[in-house]
Amino acid sequence: MSDDATFTQIGDGYTLKIERQFPQAIDRVWSALIVSDERANWLASGDVELRVGAQFTFAWTNTGDTMESTVLAVDPPRLIEFYWHQEQSTDSVVRWELEPANGGTRFTLTHSVPTTAYAPDLLSGWHTHVEMLGLYLKDEPSPWVWSRWRDLKEHYIELLKREGIDVTSPGRQFDDDGNELTETAAAS
């Protein structure tokens, strides 16, 4: 299992996938995905009712962004799928799947996105968040590190270019303190 997210282009969009093996039991990993106070340590806070059609809001501490979403599928403690409505991935779908494996849990994240415009942002963002999830599960929570996200973004830009994927959009740019940079500041 590679640490890199995989990227499959489908028409104008793509599907990204990240797989990780965690030593923790499935119920422990499920709790980290679903319980707001736990999820806030690696992604975003927000209470999620576990029923199809339930609406919820994620709130990120690293950017101050919020996102309205809707549960599309749920099968505790193995699966949750929901709409992902952010500027860079409008009307996309995220799916988290868990299965017992090798004495722990295999986690699979799939994000289906209708455009490749912000692919490096999403690939590096999910990669960083899933790293944070792994640390949180080991009781070693880590804050968001912008320099790690930027390094991964450059890594994914190079991988996508090798695959012939257009990555001319700069996506979002942030300094080390999490301040979003304007196009002028990002270019300097």
Q: How far apart are CA 123 and CA 158, in angstroms?
A: 12
Query: For the chain, what is the domain count?
Result: 1
Question: 0.95 exceeded by the pTM?
Answer: no
* Each residue's pLDDT tens digit, 119-168: 888 899 999 999 999 999 999 999 999 899 889 998 988 888 888 777 76
Determine, yes or no, domain membership for 1: no
Least trusted range by pLDDT, from 20-24, 39-43, 134-138, 176-180: 176-180
Q: Which of 109, 129, 92, 71 is nearest to 13 (CA)?
A: 92
Buried b (16+ CB within 10 A) or exposed e, 71-100: beebeebeebbbbbebebbeebbbbbebee
Query: What is the domain range of residue 163?
Result: 6-187
Determine, yes or no, domain membership for 126: yes
Phi first, then psi, for residue 162 (nearest 5°) are -65, -25
- Average per-residue pLDDT for the chain: 87
**pLDDT score, position 58:** 96
Determine, yes or no, domain membership for 145: yes
- Which CATH number covers residue 70? 3.30.530.20
